[in-house]
């Protein structure tokens, strides 16, 4: 095998083209069974004839079948190096960036297996499970060692309680904060009495709360599904979490992510800050402690309500929450004549294509981009460079151990002498 692909698969040459082999590692000799899929050549790993020195025994019996963790067979230190190489390739090849003057900071990590406080599982009518890689088939899971302790046995223990719902249950989301757990049940159709009975049984079994999420109509809470944490780097402010609302999956590493993002942003007490895709406030409150004001923009109403409640309880008075699409809100702020010193963006996997235009129009001096997709970061970074922002530093935070997925923090500053955009 020659290398790892952007999706974490081994890559070798066959018939003059790339052959992708899940589970294979660079420098290995392997036996495979080709499975050509149209123009893409793939193969199943049959036997490892000469293993890589970085190959380790996976810590899960479902490794290789379950699509939840695809790198359990790769040494954690080698995982971190491979993620760095994947990000470097994306930034230079896809983004066309010159990184010669960019500082590449060492990856920071907080634990390997057993770190995930969130999980999204599928339901087949009898058992909970994860999808196999590149298929819609489910692998039943009773115990998941990738999850934090309070969640690791929940897939197996919940299944008997959920079976009365049959196929009216589509999927289940798990969440933990410390010893407390909460569950979201995604239902077909409306919330019916049987679903409420099942939710009550789940609460009686020790889960703190259940959210019933119908295809349409209001959510129904059973028990107390909102969990309470502390905002990263702000012990005086709570952070509220719910199983159906996005939050970082690696709770122990989240303070590292926030600390590194703020270190690269370099906020100052007199600064006006803009935060795009603020979510439940993961970065918001630590940023608010370091600047004069924060305008926090988030499209999801449920996340914004949690953040607003946390700000009220923590008496954080210098944050203005705005619900709406990040690009549209940013355009509106520019038309109002607003200007911001610093900008922090944590967009979804698809990125934020209009970030460069917004940063320029709002006359931002420094910005930090938090990315969970190398391709999206590369494309958006290229646009930032075209808009006269220069990349300064990159740092990976190991938020997804055991997988090829990455989380990166990249900082940019306005080039000296760059022309400032005029307000629309």
Provide the H-helix boundaries in 176-244.
Answer: 193-204
Q: Indicate whether 263 and 402 sit together in one domain.
A: yes
The answer, yes or no, to whether residue 187 has pLDDT greater than 70, is yes
Q: What percent of the chain has pLDDT over 90?
A: 91
> What are the tokens at 10?
């081994």
The answer to whether residues 217 and 186 touch, using CB atoms and an 8 Å cutoff, is no
Q: Indicate whether 289 and 383 sit together in one domain.
A: yes
Output the CA angle 122-126-127, nearest 5 degrees: 45
Lowest mean pLDDT among 20-34, 37-51, 148-162, 321-335: 37-51
The answer to whether residues 97 and 410 touch, using CB atoms and an 8 Å cutoff, is no
Number of structural domains, the chain?
3
* Chain position carrying tokens 């940013």: 330
Other beta carbons less than 10 A from residue 272's beta carbon: 16
The answer to whether residues 152 and 143 touch, using CB atoms and an 8 Å cutoff, is yes
Average pLDDT over residues 9-15: 93
271 lies in some domain: yes
The answer to whether residues 287 and 262 touch, using CB atoms and an 8 Å cutoff, is yes
pLDDT band at 388 (very low <50, low <70, confident <90, very high): very high
83 lies in some domain: no
| pLDDT at position 37 | 66
Average pLDDT over residues 350-356: 96
| pLDDT at position 423 | 39
Domain that includes residue 175, residue range: 118-225
Q: What span, in angstroms and rounded, lies between the C-alpha atoms of 97 and 377?
A: 11
| pLDDT at position 133 | 75
| pLDDT at position 131 | 85
pLDDT band at 419 (very low <50, low <70, confident <90, very high): low
Q: Return phi, psi of residue 139, to 5°.
A: -105, 110
Q: Indicate whether 132 and 166 sit together in one domain.
A: yes
Q: Report the SS3 class of residue 34.
A: strand
Choose one of 225, 258, 281: the last residue of a domain.
Answer: 225
Query: At a CB cut-off of 8 Å and minimum separation 6, what does 343 contact?
Result: 273, 274, 275, 276, 358, 359, 362, 364, 366, 367, 368
Other beta carbons less than 10 A from residue 31's beta carbon: 10
259 lies in some domain: yes
Choose one of 225, 242, 259: the last residue of a domain.
Answer: 225
The answer, yes or no, to whether residue 421 has pLDDT greater than 60, is no
Task: Determine whether 66 is an active site residue.
Answer: no
* Cα–Cα separations (whole angstroms), residue 207 to 121, 145, 162, 200: 16, 19, 13, 10
Q: Indicate whether 27 and 159 sit together in one domain.
A: no
Q: What span, in angstroms and rounded, lies between the C-alpha atoms of 263 and 324?
A: 27
Q: Indicate whether 206 and 288 sit together in one domain.
A: no
| pLDDT at position 64 | 85
Task: Detail the DSSP E strand segments found in 110-261.
Answer: 118-123, 128-131, 138-140, 169-177, 180-187, 209-213, 220-223, 227-231, 234-241
**Catalytic residue selected from 60, 66, 69, 372:** 372
> What are the tokens at 298?
């988030």
Q: What span, in angstroms and rounded, lies between the C-alpha atoms of 116 and 63?
A: 16
Q: What span, in angstroms and rounded, lies between the C-alpha atoms of 108 and 257?
A: 9
Q: Indicate whether 150 and 167 sit together in one domain.
A: yes
Choose one of 192, 208, 225: the last residue of a domain.
Answer: 225
* Chain position carrying tokens 């944490």: 229
pLDDT band at 68 (very low <50, low <70, confident <90, very high): confident
Q: Indicate whether 361 and 295 sit together in one domain.
A: yes
Q: Indicate whether 390 and 254 sit together in one domain.
A: yes
369 lies in some domain: yes
Q: What span, in angstroms and rounded, lies between the C-alpha atoms of 318 and 237?
A: 13
Q: What span, in angstroms and rounded, lies between the C-alpha atoms of 383 and 399?
A: 26
Q: Indicate whether 216 and 262 sit together in one domain.
A: no
Average pLDDT over residues 255-284: 98
The DSSP call for residue 17 is E
pLDDT in tens, 129-178: 998 877 767 899 999 999 999 999 999 999 999 999 999 999 999 999 99
| pLDDT at position 16 | 86
101 lies in some domain: yes
Q: Report the SS3 class of residue 315.
A: coil
Average pLDDT over residues 50-68: 93
pLDDT band at 422 (very low <50, low <70, confident <90, very high): very low
Task: Indicate the angle between helix axes 374-386 and 76-89, nearest 10 degrees.
Answer: 40
DSSP per-residue codes, 226-250: -EEEEETTEEEEEEEE-TTS---SB
379: domain CATH number?
Answer: 3.40.50.150
Q: Indicate whether 271 and 362 sit together in one domain.
A: yes
238 lies in some domain: no
| pLDDT at position 424 | 38
The answer, yes or no, to whether residue 309 has pLDDT greater than 90, is yes
Q: Indicate whether 102 and 21 sit together in one domain.
A: no
| pLDDT at position 2 | 93
41: domain CATH number?
Answer: 2.40.50.140
236 lies in some domain: no
242 lies in some domain: no
Q: Return phi, psi of residue 188, to 5°.
A: -80, 135
Q: Indicate whether 200 and 259 sit together in one domain.
A: no
């Amino acid at each position: 095998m020659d290398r790892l692909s952007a999706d974490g698969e081994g890559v070798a040459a066959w018939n003059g083209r790339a052959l992708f082999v899940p589970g294979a590692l660079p420098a290995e000799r392997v036996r495979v069974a080709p499975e050509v899929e149209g123009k893409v050549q793939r193969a199943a790993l049959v036997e490892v004839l000469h293993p890589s020195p970085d190959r380790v025994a996976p810590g899960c019996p479902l490794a290789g079948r379950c699509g939840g963790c695809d790198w359990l067979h790769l040494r954690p230190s080698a995982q971190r190096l491979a993620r760095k190489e994947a990000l470097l390739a994306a930034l230079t090849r896809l983004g066309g960036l010159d990184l010669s003057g960019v500082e590449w900071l060492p990856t920071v990590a907080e634990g390997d297996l057993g770190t995930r406080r969130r999980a999204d599982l599928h339901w087949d009518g009898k058992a909970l499970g994860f999808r196999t890689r590149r298929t819609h088939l489910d692998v039943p899971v009773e115990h998941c060692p990738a999850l934090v302790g309070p969640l690791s046995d929940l897939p197996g223990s919940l299944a008997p309680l959920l079976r009365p719902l049959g196929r009216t249950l589509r999927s289940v989301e798990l969440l933990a904060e410390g010893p407390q757990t909460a569950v979201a049940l995604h239902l077909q159709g409306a919330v019916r009495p049987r679903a409420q009975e099942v939710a009550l049984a789940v609460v009686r079994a020790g889960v703190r709360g259940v959210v019933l999420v119908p295809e349409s109509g209001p959510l129904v809470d059973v028990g107390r599904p909102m969990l309470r944490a502390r905002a990263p780097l702000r012990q005086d402010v709570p952070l509220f979490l719910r199983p159906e609302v996005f939050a970082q999956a690696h709770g122990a590493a989240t303070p590292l992510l926030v600390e590194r993002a703020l270190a690269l942003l370099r906020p100052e007490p007199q600064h006006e800050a803009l935060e795009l895709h603020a979510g439940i406030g993961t970065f918001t409150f630590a940023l608010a402690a370091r600047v004069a004001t924060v305008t926090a923009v988030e499209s999801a109403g449920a996340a914004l309500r949690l953040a607003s409640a946390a700000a009220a309880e923590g008496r954080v008075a210098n944050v203005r929450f705005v619900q709406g699409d990040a690009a549209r809100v940013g355009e509106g702020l520019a038309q109002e004549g607003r200007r911001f010193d610093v900008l922090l963006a944590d967009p979804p996997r698809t990125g934020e294509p209009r970030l460069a235009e917004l940063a320029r129009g709002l006359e931002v001096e420094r910005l930090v981009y938090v990315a969970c997709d190398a391709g999206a970061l590369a494309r958006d970074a290229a646009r930032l460079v075209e808009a006269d922002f220069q990349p300064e530093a990159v740092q990976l935070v190991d938020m997804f151990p055991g997988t090829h997925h990455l989380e990166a923090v990249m900082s940019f500053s306005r080039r000296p002498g760059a022309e400032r955009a005029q307000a629309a």
